[in-house]
């Protein structure tokens, strides 16, 4: 069985919901994971925010505005009075439920329930539409099987068992609709998998049922080889290894939630990134196989700070690096890149909260220099060191750009360059021109 996930924009209007239904009604059995309609989760967070701030009127206004929007969707989505009535009744219940939170105490528990209602609404609406159109579909509630353990990590064993029960209780359906994002915690309370967590839901569900494939549908035709917001002529990458996808996601490629790939990777299930606007396009396949000896893509990570420590006196002494790293550790600041020389070490961080204290302490060990507003450009592919020439090619592409640090060899999949944020666009374009469009 396949698992298909559609994000907020893919179900963002009644028309988009109808388009999704066209895509999922091909006769094949599948589980379909849906996000909330785009904008809804933000509105629900806004409602919670008003309630935290003890402003029930503000919350009420936002709830009522959202309700008006949803009511309009009903007319556009359904053709029969039966399903219009049924869905309006469902939505009335939903919004009355939301309004009930404006009275009484408001804590994290209530907030978790509220922010999860967007997925409850979108899945019910799409299921009703499928049923109205005569399709063999059913809704299986994520809160019945999606669960995290005491460490707030997904409890895959539990998910596997309970999802199986849900499927067995609804045998022979073509389409099983369920909610992304929402889950219960180890104590059975309503919780969620963090913003953007529907990808994670799909990956977990895929792993739990040992799906043949997980499809993540968005409105771009796969993961591109560079950031289309900054670079002309980018193209989708046809195939990525899970490790390459993880590097790209971490370094700023927006298409995939970084944690999402983990369950699919461990279960060895390929993840396809597909485009609702162009369903025939090949998209990107992410799997445990690699397309060897190839640079696949480039990504950039912003808001980086570089810190350089030089000490002619201490660097050769053993234990120096440990002392330096301990300072970062004591301020819970993780280091992204490291380069060393005989007399100094440079590191980059993306969390500046404790920068001043860190610099203060580092001064005990040597001269300290800070460069802010930097950016990491990350070149990803099958770059195992015996594959000659790739680092040279990437460096050659950046020959006109001042490079602050270079890091290569940390994994088989990545060369990182630290440059000034001002040069980001130029660097990304130069890499695309040299590596992909030459």
Stretch that binds Mg ion, among 4-12, 55-63, 81-89, 241-249 (CB under 5 A): 4-12
- Report if residue 154 touches ligand ASP, rule: CB under 6 A: no
- Report if residue 197 touches Mg ion, rule: CB under 5 A: no
- Report if residue 180 touches Mg ion, rule: CB under 5 A: no
* Three-class SS of 150-200: CCCCECHHHHHHHHHHHHHHCCCCCEEEEECCEEECCCCCEEECCCCCHHH
- Find which of Mg ion, ligand ASP, none residue 14 binds, CB within 5 to 8 Å per kind: none
Distance (Å, rounded) from C-alpha 61 to C-alpha 58?
5
Considering only residues 14, 154, 180, 270, which one is a binding residue for ligand ASP as defined by CB under 6 A? Answer: 180
Stretch that binds Mg ion, among 29-37, 154-162, 383-391, 426-434 (CB under 5 A): 29-37
DSSP state of 37: P
Residues 90-119 that bind ligand ASP (CB under 6 A): 118
- Report if residue 178 touches ligand ASP, rule: CB under 6 A: no
- Rounded to a whole number of angstroms, the minimum distance from the CB of residue 41 to Mg ion is 7
Q: Which one, 35 or 275, has the nearer CB to Mg ion? A: 35
| Tokens 């992410």 belong to residue | 286
- Rounded to a whole number of angstroms, the minimum distance from the CB of residue 9 to Mg ion is 8
- Report if residue 195 touches ligand ASP, rule: CB under 6 A: yes
Stretch that binds ligand ASP, among 194-202, 248-256, 285-293, 413-421 (CB under 6 A): 194-202
Count the residues of the shown chain that bind Mg ion, applying the rule CB under 5 A.
2
What is the 3-state composition of the chain as percent helix, strand, coil, each rounded to the nearest 5? 40, 25, 35
- Rounded to a whole number of angstroms, the minimum distance from the CB of residue 146 to ligand ASP is 13
313: phi then psi, degrees, rounded to nearest 5: -75, -45
Instruction: Report strand pairing: 295-310 vs 367-381.
Output: antiparallel
- Rounded to a whole number of angstroms, the minimum distance from the CB of residue 62 to ligand ASP is 16
Instruction: Report strand pairing: 2-6 vs 30-34.
Output: parallel
Give 339's strand partners.
346
Contact (Cβ atoms closer than 8 angstroms) between residue 24 and residue 4 = yes
Nearest CA among 94, 85, 182 for reference residue 128? 85
- Report if residue 197 touches ligand ASP, rule: CB under 6 A: yes
- Find which of Mg ion, ligand ASP, none residue 12 binds, CB within 5 to 8 Å per kind: none
Q: Which one, 95 or 320, has the nearer CB to ligand ASP? A: 95
Nearest CA among 301, 291, 289, 197 for reference residue 248? 301
Q: Does residue 220 sit in helix, strand or coil?
A: coil
- Find which of Mg ion, ligand ASP, none residue 197 binds, CB within 5 to 8 Å per kind: ligand ASP
* Burial of residue 67, with CB atoms counted within 10 A of its CB: 0-12 exposed, 13-18 middle, 19 or more buried: middle
Q: Which one, 192 or 420, has the nearer CB to Mg ion? A: 192
Give the Å distances, CA to CA, from 309 to 9, 27, 316.
46, 63, 13
Distance (Å, rounded) from C-alpha 428 to C-alpha 227?
8
- Find which of ligand ASP, Mg ion, none residue 366 binds, CB within 5 to 8 Å per kind: none
- Find which of Mg ion, ligand ASP, none residue 339 binds, CB within 5 to 8 Å per kind: none
- Find which of Mg ion, ligand ASP, none residue 180 binds, CB within 5 to 8 Å per kind: ligand ASP
Q: Which one, 35 or 420, has the nearer CB to Mg ion? A: 35
- Report if residue 8 touches ligand ASP, rule: CB under 6 A: yes
- Report if residue 7 touches ligand ASP, rule: CB under 6 A: yes
Stretch that binds Mg ion, among 27-35, 136-144, 239-247, 272-280 (CB under 5 A): 27-35
| Tokens 């904008």 belong to residue | 39
Considering only residues 4, 24, 36, 175, which one is a binding residue for ligand ASP as defined by CB under 6 A? Answer: 36
- Report if residue 198 touches ligand ASP, rule: CB under 6 A: yes
- Report if residue 8 touches Mg ion, rule: CB under 5 A: yes
- Report if residue 181 touches ligand ASP, rule: CB under 6 A: yes
User: C-alpha angle 214/218/223, rounded to 5°?
Assistant: 80
- Find which of ligand ASP, Mg ion, none residue 181 binds, CB within 5 to 8 Å per kind: ligand ASP
Q: Does residue 360 sit in helix, strand or coil?
A: helix
Contact (Cβ atoms closer than 8 angstroms) between residue 195 and residue 158 = no
Distance (Å, rounded) from C-alpha 114 to C-alpha 191?
10
30: phi then psi, degrees, rounded to nearest 5: -160, 160
Q: In terms of residues, how long is the chain?
A: 438
Q: Which residues bind ligand ASP (CB under 6 A)?
A: 7-8, 35-36, 41, 118, 180-181, 195-198
Q: Which residues bind Mg ion (CB under 5 A)?
A: 8, 35
């Amino acid at each position: 069985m396949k698992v298909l996930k559609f994000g907020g924009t893919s179900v963002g209007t009644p028309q988009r919901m109808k388009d999704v239904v066209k895509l999922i009604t091909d006769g094949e059995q599948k589980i379909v994971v849906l996000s909330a309609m785009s904008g809804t989760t933000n509105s629900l967070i806004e409602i919670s925010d008003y309630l935290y701030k003890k402003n029930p009127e503000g919350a009420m206004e936002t709830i009522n505005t959202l309700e008006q929007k949803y009511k309009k969707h009903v007319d556009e989505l359904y053709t029969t009075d039966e399903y219009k009535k049924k869905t309006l009744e469902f939505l009335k219940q939903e919004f009355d439920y939301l309004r009930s939170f404006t009275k009484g105490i408001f804590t994290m528990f209530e907030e978790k329930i509220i922010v999860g209602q967007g997925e409850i609404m979108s899945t019910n609406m799409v299921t009703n539409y499928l049923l109205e159109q005569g399709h063999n579909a059913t809704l299986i509630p994520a809160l019945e099987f999606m669960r995290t353990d005491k460490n707030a990590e997904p409890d895959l064993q539990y998910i596997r068992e309970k999802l199986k029960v849900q499927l067995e209780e609804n045998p022979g359906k073509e389409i099983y609709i369920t909610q992304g994002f929402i889950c219960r915690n180890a104590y059975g309370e309503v919780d969620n998998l963090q913003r953007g967590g529907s990808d994670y839901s799909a990956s977990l569900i895929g792993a739990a049922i040992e799906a043949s494939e997980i499809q993540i549908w968005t409105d771009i035709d796969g993961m591109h080889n560079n950031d289309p917001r900054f670079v002309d002529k980018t193209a989708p990458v046809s195939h990525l290894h899970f490790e390459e996808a993880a590097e790209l996601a971490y370094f700023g490629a927006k298409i995939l939630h970084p944690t999402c790939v983990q369950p699919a990777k461990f279960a060895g299930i390929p993840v396809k990134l597909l485009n609702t606007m162009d369903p025939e396009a090949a998209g990107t396949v992410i799997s445990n196989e690699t397309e060897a000896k190839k640079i696949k893509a480039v990504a950039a990570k912003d808001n980086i700070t570089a810190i350089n420590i030089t000490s002619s006196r201490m660097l050769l002494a053993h234990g120096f690096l440990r002392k330096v790293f301990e300072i970062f550790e004591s301020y819970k600041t993780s280091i992204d890149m490291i380069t060393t020389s005989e007399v100094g070490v440079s590191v980059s961080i993306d969390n500046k909260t404790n920068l001043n204290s860190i610099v203060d302490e580092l001064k005990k060990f040597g001269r300290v220099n800070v460069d802010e507003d930097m950016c990491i450009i990350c070149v990803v592919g099958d770059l195992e060191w015996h594959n000659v020439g790739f680092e040279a090619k990437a460096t050659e592409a950046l020959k006109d750009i001042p490079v602050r640090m270079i890091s290569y060899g940390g994994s088989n999949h990545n060369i990182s360059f630290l440059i000034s944020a001002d040069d980001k666009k130029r660097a990304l374009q130069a890499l695309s021109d040299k590596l992909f469009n030459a």
